[in-house]
Structure 1
């Protein structure tokens, strides 16, 4: 019933100093397919909005970006959004050969970590890659990226044009973690009826088993019906295992030398799990054991001790994750592990299945999901869930 409801946001965009109307401003709800531009009178309307918490973003040339959090559970009318003018700073263009080579190398790393390497990623085209700025910190093996314009990616596997304001991106090769912050808008690519049918099937494939699918199933108390199972995971970091940075330093030291036995020794350590004494609970957790009411209607709090072990029984895992524990008697289902960081540990998500608080660390199957499989928060699958088990 909640998903069947739809609401509207409307308002006017003006210059904060003069009060003059601003036409042609981009107005959108971040991470969704809801977007428009302001009219010649500075007005805008976003229709058919699904309930949930969103970030409303407004951008216009010559003005500072505006964003605010909105909870959509009723119509929101007559918003007055004031944009502050800011000077336009021209991007510096560097054309030295070494800088171009460094940029190209960093860009290839970025594409793998941000867009992905799966079959969908091969059908993703970056329209304007030069808006990206990179910094690679060799000592920490960390790639940092950002852009002050929309990064536009056409995902021809899912049929979306994704416009991404990438505020921050970081890929830590030592720890094996990727994090990013930004606002994004999804637009439908043009296509014929046959193409749209294929896109819909690929979108459903990306949705089922995803973190979005899990969170929606969790608050609706439909985990079992939707193919999920939660268990408590207990584990501890192996105290005898050197740090990831030290292991990689040793691999670099012996790589390509005649001391192949030393390289193999450190490679075996690198491939070994970082955790010991791992165990999952014998009984599954139910939704009410980890779910709490949120600070306002439409928001939910997920909290649990140790780690959350999420099994998706409708798909088999195709990749071996050395740090993901698997009992010998468990089928090769997809598994994801969630780690919370707040104290006490919790994260907040909305009715669209999107985390709106501090994001948990995701390991396993969900750690593979990149822009190539990204769906707007308002996505609803075309076909109902069908269990393969």
Structure 2
């Protein structure tokens, strides 16, 4: 009976393992196997390398559909969706040779001495300016190149190979496949897309204790934690959500049209000129906050193991109990002192000393969140607290839990 029980347990174990595998072979365009290609689930610590025959096998998979990244130096990165039907089947993956490291819209050669000129701008926009960022080191910064588009006031960055980041604030070695980085130099807005793989660092007992504390702190303030609770409809005790509806300033548009049609508008009656000048000083758009907090059913719905989120314009997210970190308040004060932020914006983003963020889904996009809080979208933009906080210095593997 004991042997039978052991055999049954073994069969169950084998069956579970077989169902929780993705395996395949990676080749180049000539059909030759690619050795040491990186296979991983993005933003996690789950990954492997191909052997000398290009074969790989990866377990510990998420439920439902998930993204699998295949990366090899000198080849175009491939991010593909794996469905439950593809598990335990042999995948044939062919990578294309990378033609250039530049984004297709870039035609100029990279700036000479690029890191000396642009390294700090890149680090601030990509790694962040929080206290954690001071403990982050890029090990192969010579592989990162920059193009300054003066005409459009843009800074474009790309890398010859995965960026190797050592984050000694959180205790991770992070491999970053950077696919897009564009910094708007006039307003600091950054568009970037990347895939990361995490490997825990080895440290002393004191370092391990510090890393544990820092990880818990980073997680409690993270967008990932919010999305995990949102997907489970358990966010209301920690966050208050409101919809921000953006409306165009129709009167300002009317005045602008009137001025364009009358070059001598300043010769009009004094009261009219004053009124026009007052309207022209108004913002182009106005936002109106929903009076009542938003509920799960108003912005989200279930789809298998995922949650689909969609809303109009902006979603304002306010922490209920967490205090705004002092370094973020200092960051806002510095922006206000340099004229990059108006006083009323500071009040908006530091309301009652709790962090406030705005989430924008471009083009009426749908945000798909899995049960771990993982999402893959180039349509989600963060403003406010998360616009400052959500950088590489503070990000954790998606499977992390305190």
- TM bin (shorter chain): 0.7 to 0.9
**Residue 333 in structure 1 maps to residue 344 in structure 2:** no
Tell me by how many angstroms 1:333 deviates: 1.1
Unaligned runs of 5+ in 2: 1-15, 103-109, 254-280, 333-340
Instruction: Give the 3-state SS of the residue equivalent to 1:216 in structure 2.
Output: helix
- Tell me: CA distance 1:120–1:48, structure 2 relative to 1, closer, same or farther (3 Å): same
| Counterpart among 271, 274, 282 of residue 291 in structure 2 | 282
Deviations 1:207-252 (A, max 9, x none): 1132111111112111123x1110122344678999xxxxxxxxxx
2:376 equivalent to 1:356: yes
Radius of gyration: which is bigger? 2
Secondary structure at 2:151 match in 1: coil
- Other-structure match for 1:180: 192
After superposition, the C-alpha distances for 1:53-81 in whole angstroms (9 at most, x for unaligned) are: 5331223356543331124x688213323
Secondary structure of the structure 2 residue equivalent to 1:108: helix
User: Does the alignment pair 1:131 with 2:143?
Assistant: yes
**RMSD of the alignment, in Å?**
3.4
Q: Give the corresponding residue for 1:304.
A: 311
In the TM superposition, 1:155-170 aligns within 5 A as 155-170=167-182
Contact 1:150–1:164 (CA<8 Å) still a contact in 2? yes
Structure-2 change in CA distance of 1:289 and 1:62 (3 Å) = closer
> SS of 2:199's equivalent?
strand
Q: Distance in 1 between matches of 2:191 and 2:29?
A: 36
Does residue 379 of structure 2 align to residue 377 of structure 1?
no
Q: Corresponding residue for 2:7?
A: none
Which of 234, 237, 244 does residue 233 from structure 1 map onto? 244
C-alpha displacement of 1:206? 1.0
| TM-score (ref. length: structure 1) | 0.75
Once the two structures are TM-superposed, the CA of residue 11 in structure 1 deviates from its matched residue by 1.4
The C-alpha deviation readout for 1:145-183, integer Å capped at 9, x for no partner, is 111311111010011111111111011133431111122
User: What is the Cα deviation at residue 17 of structure 1?
Assistant: 6.2
Which of residues 81, 93, 100 in structure 2 aligns to 1:82? 93
* CA shift in 2, pair 1:229/1:59, >3 Å: same
Counterpart for residue 33 of structure 1: 45
Q: Distance in 2 between matches of 1:174 and 1:313?
A: 33
Does the 8 Å contact 2:111/2:148 carry over to 1? no
Flag the structure with higher helix content: 2
Instruction: Answer yes or no: is the 8 Å Cα contact 1:29–1:35 preserved in 2.
Output: yes
Q: How many residues align?
A: 337
Could you tell me whether the CA contact under 8 Å between 1:148 and 1:166 is conserved in 2? no
CA contact (8 A) 2:37 2:50 kept: yes
Shift of the 87–283 alpha-carbon distance from structure 1 to 2, 3 Å rule, reads closer
Distance 1:284 1:81, change over 3 A: same
Provide TM-score, normalisation by structure 2.
0.73
Q: Equivalent residues in 2 for 1:139-288 (5 A)?
A: 139-225=151-237, 227-236=238-247, 277-288=286-297
The structure richer in strand per residue is 1
Shift of 1:325: 7.6
Q: Give the Cα separation in 2 of the matches to 1:83 and 1:69.
A: 15
SS in 2 for 1:314: coil
